[in-house]
A and B are shown apart, each in its own frame.
Chain A
Amino acid sequence: MSTSDAYYIPHKAVWPVIGTLGLMVTLAGFANYLNGSSIGPAMMIAGLTLFIVMLAGWFTLQAGESESGMYNHGVGISYRMGMMWFIFSEIMFFAVFFGTLWYTRNLSVEWLAGFGDGPGRATNDLLWSGFEGGWPTNGPGEVGGEYEPMGAFGLPLLNTIILLSSGVTCEWAHHGLLKKNRQQLIKGLIATVSLGFLFVLCQAYEYHEAYTEMGLTLGSGIYGSTFFMLTGFHGFHVCVGAIILSVVLFRSWKGHFTPENHFAFEGAAWYWHFVDVVWLGLFIFVYLM
């Protein structure tokens, strides 16, 4: 395997258009479904299939090119920058929901309850006199009815331990890769992926409990909204991260990656750590506080 010393510029690309078409059809289908149109689900399945075919095709192409030594150091740097700033955009996406939690919990609920000089008192007097605020809350209208808030200890704490451990096993696998210890690399990745999916299972169980036992749903006022939106998007990202790591595991098993050339591993690991850190924020701000 030799590494080219020129910056590789692909001549044409068919996957981007296919992926775009897949995503557009999926979203148009979802919109149709939301509007109650019967064509929606079929469009979503067709679009998602196309999108998955694109992912498989595009990544196979990239892996093949990488293995045949077409990417020099400069290409690797571009990919790393791409991944880094993609993760930054994800951080901003989560920041919206953390910000929403902060704003409603510390400002708007307080105003509804009549605290503060300005808009708060009038809102409370005119609209919701008697509402006392506090957190968790499903609002002065008690939207969604009686519910039980989610505790921090028990499953969420276990999930915290699971996810943090998976971050450690991920790094352990990386060290294996750097030391050319294939066994350690593969074992570490298997552990990471398993812990990731275990986390998702626990989360699913927690959701099931919330919906069936606790009366806590997405419709339980602002508490339910922020709880499920934050943990839901995080759970989705764990799934994506675990799938990415599965692909990396598969490639490791196929004997890809050298201590010098393993961008796919690095990118996946960065993403995994990002998902980890988001969970820490969630555990503190959604569950503990």
Chain B
Amino acid sequence: MSANVAAHDDHHDHGPEKGIVRWIVTTNHKDIGTLYLAFALVMFFVGGTMALIIRSELFEPGMQFVDPQFFNSMTTMHALVMVFGAVMPAFVGLANWQIPMMIGAPDMALPRMNNMSFWMLVAGVLLLASTLFMEGGAPAGGWTLYPPLVLQTGDALPFAIFSVHLLGISSIMGAINVIATIFNMRAPGMTLMKMPLFVWTWLITAFLLIAIMPVFAGAVTMLLTDRFFDTSFFDAAGGGDPVLYQHIFWFFGHPEVYVMILPTFGVASTIIPVFARKPLFGYASMVYATAAIAFLSFIVWAHHMFTVGMPVAGELYFMYATMLIAVPTGVKIFNWTATMWKGAMTFETPMLFSIAFVVLFTMGGFTGLMMAVAPVDFQYHDTYFIVAHFHYTLVPASIFILMAAGYFWLPKWTGNMYNERIGKLHFWLSAISVNILFFPQHFLGLAGMPRRIPDYAVQFADWNMISSIGAFIYGFSQLLFVYIVIDTIRGGTGEKVTDEVWEDAKKHSLEWTLPSPPPYHSFTTPPEKIPTEHF
């Protein structure tokens, strides 16, 4: 690997362009990472506002604030914005900031394409957001865009479809960049099995993305032609099948949810050892478990469709295959717990979020296991139980870990320390309110309350009210995070952090050997020593 000494076409100095132009034309992995993270944070609040509209409407039975069509637009857009606008871009932002620093590279392998994948994301989200103001309203058939319902969408349909295409192009370019960077830009001595787990999980995630985004693009393209060009892909009269769309969608959709959780695992595996002051337990098994989960994600998709009418053999196969996922996931939970076992633990904000992730994600995982059982799923399908399940795997898992990553790396990125008191306050408010928000939804689902419905029977009133109260506490607590981010960038507590920020972090990963904040181009010469603490 001779590829590690950087050359630049700068006739001026190594620094960035001035003003706003810097952010538009930048090819720098840190700048682009910052763009991604800032964009994701904004989208987190856009999607969050939609969630609060939903929870306001559901505060009481009966119709309160919005009409049913708009309510359904909100559930649809909330999902699309959070998945494609917030969680995925946030992890791409982390990848941009961290991967070059963690593997000892000067930058990402394909910097110009890196810039393009960010702007493609913005273009895609702009098209999607524009549908809110169109004749017939934004898409309201659910984020899965199932035909034939979604084909009744008004003017928004082609915009939503092209938005998916742009988001897909963005993700594929980002993923290709991650793969090329990890395979081609590692410092000498940084063998694959010495890479921090965050890098490993992103490598595997990138393969998932390249394999699934074209599949989603193909599916929505068929929606487009069914609506506008007379094709019969999803129309039984012409010999097609609406269920076919569901198969294709979930062939994309199931790996897609792992795209949001695998990097989460990676960050947790990076943070927990630092605050347990121990090497990560079972490094190799973590790598293999991640790969196993990724592989399994491709062969379990129809567990989203147990009630749709499949041959019994299909139901059985997808049931057992799905349950298999619990094995590698269990390995991971075990390893995180074993990492903490007898560790000299301290509980700074990133560690608090990470521990909450381990506990609450386990719960989300168990409800997933419940629904893997096909006959049982007939009861839970499309109720609030599934809503509770996947929100437990996304909010106190992916979102919590994104927050943890923010607290963990902001001092490195800015050179300033965040306010630990407000950080802890943010954590406790989030951890408590997220359970007030989502735990009652399990009960609602088990009692039979359907999802994506703006009104409900009176027996569901109490738990809905509690859930909505939790939602508002959770939503507004997140403003603390915005305050902390801005405050830390502007100087934070005033305390200048050391290079490694956290005690002995240097032993775990390369980014802590760089100054805080790190130089504009991370490793212009390869690092001399590769940390090996995780063995």
Contact = CB atoms under 8 A, between A and B. Distances in A.
A interacts with B: yes
B10 interface: yes
Contacts of A81: 109, 176, 179-180, 183-184
Interface in A190-241: 217-219, 221-226, 228-229
Given A74-B3, A222-B239, A118 B309 contact: yes
B5 A5 contact: yes
A223 to B, nearest CB: 7
Interface string B206-217: 000011111101
Contacts of A15: 112
Interface stretch (B226-234, B283-291, B474-482): B226-234
Interface string B185-218: 1000000000000000000000000111111011
A82 B176 contact: yes
B6 A9 contact: yes
A149 interface: no
Interface in A5-24: 5-17, 19-21, 23-24
Interface string B253-275: 00000000000000000000000
A288 interface: no
Contacts of A246: none
A41 interface: no
A56 interface: no
Nearest to A93: B214
Contacts of A118: 309-312
A259 interface: no
Contacts of B24: 17
Contacts of B10: 11
Bin the interface of chain B by size.
35 or more
Nearest to A91: B214
Contact of B243 (A31, A108, A228): A108
User: Chain A binding site: helix, strand, loop or mixed by DSSP?
Assistant: helix
A128 B239 CA distance: 11
B338 interface: no
Contacts of B166: 23-24, 27
Contacts of B310: 118-119
A72 interface: yes
B215 A95 contact: yes
Contacts of B229: 218-219
A31 B235 contact: no
B207 to A, nearest CB: 9
Interface string B111-145: 11101100110110011001000000000000000
A7 B231 contact: no
B5 A78 contact: no
B7 A225 contact: no
Interface string A71-84: 01111011101100
B106 interface: yes
A219 B9 CA distance: 53
A125 interface: no
B234 to A, nearest CB: 10
Contact of B112 (A13, A85, A225, A229): A13
B116 A31 contact: no
B421 interface: no
Contacts of A19: 116
Nearest to A85: B176
B238 A138 contact: yes
Given A8-B7, A73-B2, A229 B115 contact: no
A109 to B, nearest CB: 5
Interface majority SS (helix, strand, loop, mixed), chain B = helix
Given A35-B158, A139-B236, A6 B176 contact: no
B416 interface: no
Contact of A27 (B162, B210, B217, B233): B162
Nearest to A27: B162
Given A34-B158, A82-B113, A223-B239, A74 B2 contact: yes
A30 B3 CA distance: 42
A166 to B, nearest CB: 25
Contacts of A117: 311
Contacts of A109: 239
B2 A5 contact: yes
B3 A218 contact: no
A154 interface: no
Interface stretch (A96-104, A174-182, A263-271, A278-286): A96-104
Nearest to B131: A31
B4 interface: yes
Interface in B298-312: 309-312
Interface string B162-181: 10011001001001110111
B232 A20 contact: no
B284 to A, nearest CB: 25
B165 A225 contact: no
A207 to B, nearest CB: 14
A183 interface: no
21 contacts: A8-B8, A9-B7, A10-B111, A12-B27, A13-B116, A16-B113, A17-B115, A17-B116, A20-B123, A28-B159, A31-B159, A78-B3, A82-B109, A88-B210, A96-B214, A103-B241, A108-B243, A116-B311, A140-B237, A143-B239, A229-B222
Interface of B: 1-10, 17, 24-27, 106-107, 109-113, 115-116, 119-120, 122-123, 126-127, 130, 155, 158-159, 161-162, 165-166, 169, 172, 175-177, 179-181, 183-185, 210-215, 217-219, 222, 224-225, 228-233, 235-241, 243-244, 247-248, 309-312, 521
Given A8-B8, A92-B215, A96-B248, 18 more contacts: A7-B3, A7-B4, A7-B106, A7-B185, A13-B111, A17-B24, A30-B162, A74-B2, A77-B3, A99-B248, A103-B241, A111-B241, A118-B312, A138-B232, A143-B237, A222-B240, A225-B225, A229-B231
Interface of A: 4-17, 19-21, 23-24, 27-28, 30-31, 34-35, 58, 70, 72-75, 77-79, 81-82, 85-86, 88-90, 92-93, 95-97, 99-100, 103-104, 107-109, 111-112, 116-119, 123, 127-128, 137-141, 143-144, 217-219, 221-226, 228-229
Q: Report the 10 A-B pairs with minimum CB-CB distance, sorted nearest first.
A: A74-B3, A141-B237, A96-B218, A139-B239, A219-B230, A16-B116, A222-B239, A6-B7, A108-B241, A31-B158
